[in-house]
Structure 1
């Protein structure tokens, strides 16, 4: 007599394998959480950030004044982008070169950056960055859904802004 199939052992093995693979993602996220932006504490970045961060905090993200300051950061900022994968500027093809882990760190970085200024707003930053980095509609939805899931949005990004 053939015993009826019991899917429980296969399901439990699958569940353990998924946990193992998710552990790899979690480890990567934890490693990045303790290494995030440490290059800013060393030259050639530190002097540039010491000089420009106070002015950047006083400007509105995406404004002409902000963009002028970012351009003036020159080699220090280019070094930062070259050594930090959570920036689209790190990749020759921008956001399309990023991994999901890069994207998660990027979104968290954008959220934390909005908290450093008086007028910071993640919804506004997402709207600006959608155009700045040519974020595809589907990816934009995923970023917004993630931010919404964690309660990071005080308002909704403008999905209708011109790209």
Structure 2
């Protein structure tokens, strides 16, 4: 039985920032530059809020579901992608980030090889596509800032651990 509080509680969701790159591109520009072909996986929302807008794949956690499992489930449901691993990026919880109400997102990230990463939209995603990571266009919610944070995360991580190509 769930404990009932006398005050409102936020909803919790997961979002995924998945970057795609070819092995040849990764060797040259691991996290990209302005002209880089580094891509970010986005979905076009089929439901309000932001119906028709591009967004990160993600959604609400089930009550009995750990965050990483929720992230893998939502990513697969909306894009059919199953990366080997998802790393935690951070928690995003600005009070006004979601017009439906107070929502906290636990965000995960990955880099995958584009060859063999077949995607197609499912669940509440109208479309799934690889978009330019540095210029993805206007995104729903606070997802533009989250993509920028994920780019910084990978730039710092790969600068410290130059074996990064093994992550693909």
TM range (shorter): under 0.3
TM-score (norm 1): 0.25
Higher RCO (Cα < 8 Å, 6 or more apart): 2
Query: Greater share of helix residues, 1 or 2?
Result: 1
Higher strand share: 2
Greater Rg, structure 1 or structure 2?
1
